[in-house]
Each structure stands twice: as structure tokens, then as C-alpha cells.
Amino acid sequence: MGKIAFVFPGQGSQAVGMGKALADEYQEVRELFEAADQKLGFSLSDLMFNGPEEKLTLTMHAQPAILAASIAALRIFEKEGITPDFVAGHSLGEYTALAAAKALTFEDAIYAVHKRGQFMEQAVPAGEGTMAAVLGMERSLLQEVTAEVTASGETVGLANLNCPGQIVISGTKNGVALAGERAKEKGAKRVLPLNVSGPFHSSLMKPATEQLETVLNGVEVKDCETPLIANVDAKPVVKAEDIRAKLLQQLYSPVLWEDSVEALIEAGVDTFIEIGPGKVLSGLIKKVNRKVTTYAVQDGASIQEAAKALKEAAQ
């Protein structure tokens, strides 16, 4: 058996009811959620369990909620004695990965992503920026399209390089619409508008960087106990000062998810365990490389199932 990576989902994986099954079953998960509620000064757990969905979906709520549900699943999964060789996370999931690697405490991570969500929402007035998924187009070709549109005065760029043939673009409403039209003219199969509140991972997020820097300077960042493959360059990072710099850069840079998965495979990883709500990353990883094994763990049953399979594989 090769190496193991724990990977953590990003925004969009939230769902009303997440984390509830684990909280019902485990005292330590209830305590974890109580700690989150106390740190944030409102009941995040109530939002997670009961919604309403439109409130949970707000960036400043969705980010800490996904992080909390993911860390809850991690804490229970860790009891099975399975440890990762690497960690990685998609956008917001990078903070979860850092908490998993003991670079950030749970409370600091949850506070930081709540603030990050607020800053991201404030960076661009609502309705002015957006994102869209472009399917079936080469990275270099799409890069040309977005560069042309940006040169004409409407900001747009590559935001998430998720897997072959799936790239998310981000920018002004007009920029994304124009780039989408041009991408289709140049052979993209489909362009799907995303239901997001802003142009994340684009240069339009730069105004949020200063505020985020203040928050990150106010929390203790330690060296990672497990190497993290960073979103911004798909390279391993361990040192605290590098982590802070990469988290700031990540706000306005593309998430190199496909490259990160490739880097992990090259480093010997053949088993990816997605920890937290949904199965988005497992699907993307399989599109990067069909041969690897993926597990998605988020509740008692999926944790037991993955742990059993992994222990059998290790024999």
C-alpha cells in the first residue's frame, strides 16, 4: 500500500443537517461544536443542523460550518489509528487541512475562516462579481480567452483548476459572461454559472488580503506536523511563515487542485480520504487519475467502512 492523503472539501459542500449525526453519537463532537459556537459568538451548530439553507450558504457561515463538520469527522476517524502522509484542502479546505496538521488550533481556524468569509463577501459589492465552470477546454486556451477579456477592461481569470476539462473562471459579471461566450466559440463543451456570492480566487479579492493578514497575524500558526500541499503552487509546505504567506496569496490566486492531486500521486499517494461533507473532491480526484483509491468519510457509518477497508488493505 502506498501513502495516504487526507483531503478536505471547500465551499459548496455545505448541507443543512451536516455534522448532526456525529454530534448525536459522540460527546466530543458536541463539545467541538460548542467550542465553535463560543468562539464565533453565535450558534453555528444550530445553523448547521437546522438551517435555513440560504443563511447557511452565506460565505461567512458556510466556511466555518464546513470546517467544523470536517474536523468533527476527522476527530472520530483519527480514533481508528489511521494517519496521513500528506494533507490538502480545496480553498477553504486548506484551513481545515492546517487544523488537521496541527498548524492551527480548531478555534483559530474557525475564527479565521468566518472572518475570511466576511472579507470575501465585502471585497466586491454583491451582484458585481461571479464565477462559472467551463467544461471541456484546455487550460492554456482558456487562459488566453480570460487574458483577452481582461485586456478589454473586464476582469476575469482562472480560479479553480479542478480536474482535466473542469476549470472555474472568476471575475466581474460581464467578464465571466464574455469569457464564457468566447470559450464556447473556441470549443468549450459547456459553461455553467455558479451560485456564489462573489468572484473568489480572482484579482478582485485583493482588497480582502489586508484584512485577512491582520486576522492571520493575530492567531498562532505553527509548523505543520504533516506536510500540506498548498493550493497556490501545489508544493509541500511545513513552515509557519510560509503558511501565512500562502493563505494570503490563496485568496486571489487560482486553486491548483488538479496539480495538487498530481503532486500527491507523484509523492507516492495512492489513497485519498476525503473528510467532511459531500464527495466533490473524491469525484475530482478520480477524474485526475482513475487508478487511485478514494474514500469519503463524514458520518459514523462511512468512517467505519473506510477504516475497515484501509485496515484490510494494509494487511
CA distances to 56, 61, 92, 300 from 11, in Å:
11, 10, 7, 22
DSSP sequence for 236-248:
EE--HHHHHHHHH
Distance CA 57, CA 179 (A): 26
Cα–Cα distance, 143 to 24 (Å, whole number): 47
User: Between β-strands 293-297 and 86-89, what pairing exists: parallel, antiparallel or unpaired?
Assistant: unpaired
Helix (H) or strand (E) holding 131: strand 129-135
Cα distance between residue 192 and residue 55, in whole Å? 23
CA distance 78 to 192: 37
- In terms of DSSP H, where are the helices of 134-193? 139-151, 173-185
Angle 161-106-75 from CA coordinates, rounded to 5°: 85
CA angle 299, 266, 91 (to 5 degrees): 50
* Count of alpha carbons within 13 angstroms of residue 305, beta-carbon side: 10
Distant-in-sequence, close-in-space partners of 102: CB < 8 Å, separation ≥ 6 = 222, 224, 225, 226
| Residue 59 near residue 72 (C-beta atoms within 8 A) | no
Active site residues: 91, 201
